[in-house]
Amino acid sequence: MQEYEAERLSAPQLAAMRRSLTGGRGALTRRSLLRASGAGALALGGLGALSACGIPPAAREGDGAAASDDHSAREKRVTFSNWTEYMDVGEDERTRPTLQAFTERTGITVKYTEDINDNVEFFGKIKPQLAAGQDTGRDLIVVTDWLAARVIRLGWAQKLDPANLPHAFANLSAQFRSPDWDPGRAHSYPWTGIPAVIAYNAKATGGRTVDSVTQLLDDPRLKGRVSFLSEMRDSVGLTLLDMGKDPASFTDADYDAAIGRLREGVERKQIRRFTGNDYTADLSKGDIAACVAWAGDIIQLQADNPDIEYAIPAAGYVTSTDNLLVPARARHKTNAEKLIDHYYEPPVAARLAAYINYVCPVDGVAAELAAIDPAMASNTLILPDGPMAAKSHSFRSLGPQEETAYEEKFAALIGA
């Protein structure tokens, strides 16, 4: 219980999460407004015929949460909680083809609920049961990396059985394989990745490319027409990279230097404001010439405005993840693992990626996605190629005291 008490969110952490809910990642639609023109072309029968074979994964080490009695063999069902608009739907907007295909192939029914609207709010729903060692009523959940790290650290996520995850182990993209908060993915698998890169309006920049944080902060031609995100990990992470520091291994001094660099941009009025995803309208109009942006927003904007461009800084970019976890005491752990593995088979992963338009963490889906929408298959914001993936960096996990101190400094910077 003492460890649980130590994990209570501080005032700065809660303020940061409220920013996320109202304008940041928590407010993202979780799916591009675009629809793949051929999204319905992937026949359900094709999904149902997928092979169950795969490469047996190596054993993993590490202790997970105390396992519950697994009722999967007797109770052929699984309860899955996810974010809204984070699952493919059929042409009638009522069916969910990839879930239906899973049930037809395995006989396991899925109770799918879109009851996650914000990480903090959802954590508040389930933590009383988790803290009491009780079943939450959910076998599978999707939460963002910082919360996944906390749930795992508290011992509230079950260790996954690699024997039930042959496709997941074989097909997980290298860039997502070993986050510092879950080495070797012993307790989690990513549902999708969320990159933060640089976007600019080519008309507003006079045709000039903007491809570095240094340009955002120092180019006088951009003065007053630059925005950064109100998500600390994205804005500070990109600034750290621009300063030659790794977001996965920086020190307190590095963090303070990055905050100082951004503060200079504020004081010189180079930075217009820090935003949630409300930067999109200003960027499209050209009031914001260049900014730190989320990849999913860029894909949407480019569909309507040919002047919107993006750049991957030579120093790299920051990617966060939303992640699948099996909560402690879940009744149907094996069934949940089979469902995770289902979404790591390329035809299934392609169908999902075509609908939600975020980074697909599954290797080998290019041909499948090309059959649905060739433009998506060639878009490195959805399917990063080798050079793109090599530039992706994760912001390291933070302890409670460290996160409080960092969020306090960032809140003072952005005036939150």
Q: What is the pLDDT along the chain (416 residues), one digit of tens a residue?
A: 444 444 566 666 666 655 555 455 554 544 433 322 233 333 333 444 333 333 333 333 334 455 568 999 999 999 999 998 899 999 887 899 999 999 999 999 999 999 998 787 899 999 999 999 999 999 999 998 989 999 999 999 999 999 999 999 999 999 999 999 999 999 999 999 999 999 999 999 999 999 999 999 999 999 999 999 988 999 999 999 999 999 999 999 999 999 999 999 999 999 999 998 789 999 999 999 999 999 888 988 998 999 999 999 999 999 999 999 999 999 999 999 999 999 999 999 999 998 888 899 999 999 999 999 999 999 999 999 989 999 999 999 988 889 899 999 999 999 86
Rg (CA), the chain: 21
Structure tokens given for 249: 């291994």
The confidence score (pLDDT) of residue 118 equals: 78
Segments of 52-108 assigned E as strands:
77-83
Do β-strands 188-201 and 392-393 pair in parallel, antiparallel, or remain unpaired? unpaired
Q: How far apart are CA 86 and CA 36, in angstroms?
A: 15
Residues in CB range of 400: below 8 A, 6 or more apart: 6, 7, 8, 10, 13
Cβ atoms of 110 and 102 within 8 Å: the answer is: yes
112-124 per-residue burial string, b: 16 or more CB within 10 A, e: under 16: beeebebbbebbe
Which CA distances in Å does 327 have to 138, 148, 323?
7, 10, 12
The confidence score (pLDDT) of residue 12 equals: 62
The confidence score (pLDDT) of residue 61 equals: 34
Three-state SS string over 76-90 comes to CEEEEEEECCCCCCC
Q: How far apart are CA 274 and CA 198, in angstroms?
A: 14
Q: How far apart are CA 212 and CA 197, in angstroms?
A: 9
The confidence score (pLDDT) of residue 19 equals: 53
- Would you say how long the chain is, in residues? 416
For residue 192, the Cα-to-chain-centroid distance in whole angstroms is 5
The confidence score (pLDDT) of residue 285 equals: 96
- Residue whose structure tokens are 């298959």: 377
Q: How far apart are CA 235 and CA 258, in angstroms?
A: 9
The confidence score (pLDDT) of residue 43 equals: 33
**DSSP-derived secondary structure letter, 136:** -
The confidence score (pLDDT) of residue 191 equals: 97
Q: How far apart are CA 86 and CA 384, in angstroms?
A: 20
Helix (H) or strand (E) holding 200: strand 188-201
Cβ atoms of 97 and 44 within 8 Å: the answer is: yes
**DSSP-derived secondary structure letter, 173:** -
pTM of the entire structure? 0.79
The confidence score (pLDDT) of residue 133 equals: 94
Region of 220 on the Ramachandran plot (φ > 0 left; ψ -120 to 50 alpha; else beta): alpha
